[in-house]
Structure 1
Amino acid sequence: MRLAPARPDEVTATRPGDDIVPGDPVVMDRGCSFDAPPEVVWPWLEQLGKGRAGWYLPIRVEQFLPPSRRAIRHVDDRWLGLEVGSVIPDYGGRHETFTVASIDPPHSLVHRSRRSHTDVTWSLTLTPEDGGTRLHLRLRLGPVKHRRLAEVAGGFFDALTVAGMVAGLRERLREEYRQRCGLAA
């Protein structure tokens, strides 16, 4: 899997949504590259979410989930067209949601949420790179009562979920490319 901590220049760069969580937040940066242009990757990111396209995982993992919990394997127009203020259901509790804080297709999408007493932003930034796309994901949490716990345990959980999502997205992008080219899966 080609998910890694973000490159140093990505970590120091200002990202959309950085101004939403005040103070000294816990920040988790991840990065990955795809062999598809931002315009192809974008709709897959826009349709993410519980009760929408799902949260992508590779098929070898999804086979262990009930069919109702598996993410779709195609772009579905009904989940596109997000706007600032759009609400997206999320896991972590029956009433947990993300709200779109900013959107600039096909460059950036920022989700925000409040979990208990902590503000959360999740920024996804797409940049063209060598004929493909570099995706930078930044999760910001604040205020955080137990900072070290959030950095270690939260960082592990974030890395695990993002790695699964990236692997599932990469698999779907390959399937889409094969279909477009008329190749067998």
Structure 2
Amino acid sequence: MFTFKPLLKAIALNIMSWLVFALVLLAVYFALLRDWQMNWGATTEDVNRYMAGDELLEDPELNATRAVLINASPEQIWPWIVQIGYKRAGFYGFDKLDNGGQPSAKSIIPEFQNLKAGDFIPGGEYKGELFNLLEVVEMKPNKSMLWVFLKGTPWQGATWSWGLYKIDDEHTRLVSRLRQKYTFDSAQAVISWSMIDVIEIMMMRTTLLGIKYRAEQN
């Protein structure tokens, strides 16, 4: 007589095996890889310096400072940052995920160069509604810019700061700092933040390298 018990037991064991595997990977990540990826490309000076918006969040669980050295002046890099945004110039990264499949811009777009403090930048769209809306809170042309996430989970309240630090006439350090306080009020929130903590570097690294490539080619 057929019984479901062996099948259910096998499925349960399989699920448990995958859960254990995922937990082991997370443990390795937090023990060995997290500090490296949180400061990818950044020097000690980059990590320790004040950036716009640092005072808005106290002791955030996510405090990621990433940087690239670009063979260009701040004036050549700045326009690429100003035009970032969903269905604007894109994020110079995974366009199918973060720009609705529309290719990120490969040139400066004049109509997106009039950004100013108080403006809003769309971060994405779901079922016709914009989410992860970013407000331009502070802006110092060719030097720094601060964005704050106003709408959309789980990023609401996060700060995204940009800094351009001139080395000489042909070299600039571009630094990005992303800060957010995590919530742990549900299993879903814990799983969500664990995944974001691991994969967010892929998006940020691609954006920084995308800006570097474009600024050096134009």
TM interval, shorter chain, is 0.7 to 0.9
Q: Answer whether contact 1:28 1:155 (CA < 8 A) is retained.
A: no
Distance 1:128 1:24, change over 3 A: same
Q: CA deviation at 1:148?
A: 7.9
Alignment of 1:26-175 (within 5 A): 26-57=62-93, 68-91=101-124, 93=126, 94-96=129-131, 97-114=133-150, 115-116=152-153, 118-130=156-168, 131-142=170-181, 144-146=182-184, 153-175=195-217
Distance between the aligned counterparts of 2:45 and 2:192, measured in 1?
A: 23
Amino acid at match of 2:157: D
2:130 is paired with a residue whose SS is coil
The structure in which a higher percent of residues are helix is 2
The structure in which a higher percent of residues are strand is 1
Gaps of 5+ in 2: 1-38
Amino acid at match of 1:14: Y
Distance 1:39 1:52, change over 3 A: same
Q: CA deviation at 1:20?
A: 2.2
Higher relative contact order (CA 8 A, sep 6+): 1
User: Identity rate of aligned residues, in percent?
Assistant: 23
Q: CA deviation at 1:6?
A: 1.8
- Structure showing greater Rg: 2
Distance between the aligned counterparts of 2:195 and 2:99, measured in 1?
A: 27
TM-score scaled by length of structure 1: 0.78
TM-score scaled by length of structure 2: 0.68
Distance 1:157 1:91, change over 3 A: farther
Amino acid at match of 1:18: D
Distance between the aligned counterparts of 2:147 and 2:99, measured in 1?
A: 27
Aligned length, in residue pairs: 169
Q: CA deviation at 1:151?
A: 7.2
Distance between the aligned counterparts of 2:171 and 2:164, measured in 1?
A: 10
Distance between the aligned counterparts of 1:141 and 1:172, measured in 2?
A: 28
Distance 1:91 1:138, change over 3 A: same
Amino acid at match of 1:120: A
Distance between the aligned counterparts of 1:33 and 1:70, measured in 2?
A: 24
